[in-house]
C-alpha cells in the first residue's frame, strides 16, 4: 500500500511539474513576462510567499485590504455564484474598445448578460458601447458617461 501511495504521489508531482512548465510556456508568450523569472508553482517557496502573514494585520492598510477581499468573496457568493449555472455555454465574448477599455460578456439563459468592463491602464478610457439599464454588482474606481477612470472595474447585469 505504501508503494502505491508513493507512486501516486510521484505521478501527482509529475503532473504538477508538467502543468507548471506549460503555464510558463503560455505566459512567456505574453508581453512583460519572462518564463525564466516565474516562480515554480509547485515549489514550497512559492506556496509560502503566497500565504498571508496574519501578524501584519496590525496596520490600517492591511486591515482595509483584508476587509476589501472579504467583501469581494461575499459578493461573489451572493451575486455571481447563484447565476453561474445560468451562463450559456460558449457564450463568453470580449472586445476592446477604440479607447482601450476591455468588455467581457456572458449570456445568461434568461436573456440577460453578465458584463465586466475594465480599464487596466493608467489613463482614462472611453468605451464604445452605450451603457443603459445596468444593474451594477461592483464598481471599483469610477465610471460615468462611457468614460472609465484609470485602474477601474465594473461588474454588472445588463
Per-residue pLDDT of 107-147, as tens digits, reads 999 889 999 999 988 999 988 766 655 678 999 999 988 88
Whether the pTM exceeds 0.85: the reply is no
Per-residue pLDDT tens for 31-59? 666 667 777 778 898 888 888 778 877 78
Q: Percentage of residues in the chain with pLDDT exceeding 70?
A: 73
Evaluated on CA atoms 114, 119, 124, 129, the torsion sign reads: negative
Query: Do residues 140 and 108 make contact, with C-beta atoms less than 8 angstroms apart?
Result: no
Task: Extract the C-alpha cell encoding 5.
Answer: 501511495
Mean pLDDT of 6-23: 56
Amino acid at each position: 500500500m505504501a508503494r502505491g501511495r508513493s507512486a501516486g504521489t510521484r505521478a501527482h508531482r509529475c503532473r504538477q511539474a508538467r502543468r507548471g512548465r506549460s503555464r510558463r510556456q503560455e505566459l512567456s508568450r505574453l508581453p512583460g513576462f519572462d518564463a525564466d523569472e516565474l516562480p515554480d508553482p509547485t515549489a514550497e517557496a512559492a506556496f509560502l510567499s503566497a500565504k498571508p502573514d496574519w501578524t501584519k494585520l496590525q496596520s490600517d492598510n492591511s486591515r482595509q485590504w483584508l476587509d476589501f477581499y472579504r467583501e469581494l468573496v461575499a459578493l461573489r457568493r451572493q451575486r455571481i455564484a447563484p447565476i453561474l449555472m445560468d451562463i450559456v455555454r460558449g457564450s463568453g465574448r470580449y472586445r476592446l474598445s477604440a479607447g482601450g477599455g476591455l468588455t467581457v460578456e456572458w449570456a445568461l439563459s434568461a436573456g440577460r448578460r453578465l458584463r465586466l468592463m475594465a480599464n487596466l491602464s493608467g489613463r482614462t478610457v472611453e468605451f464604445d458601447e452605450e451603457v443603459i439599464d445596468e444593474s451594477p454588482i461592483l464598481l471599483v474606481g469610477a465610471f460615468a458617461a462611457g468614460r472609465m477612470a484609470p485602474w477601474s472595474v465594473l461588474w454588472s447585469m445588463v
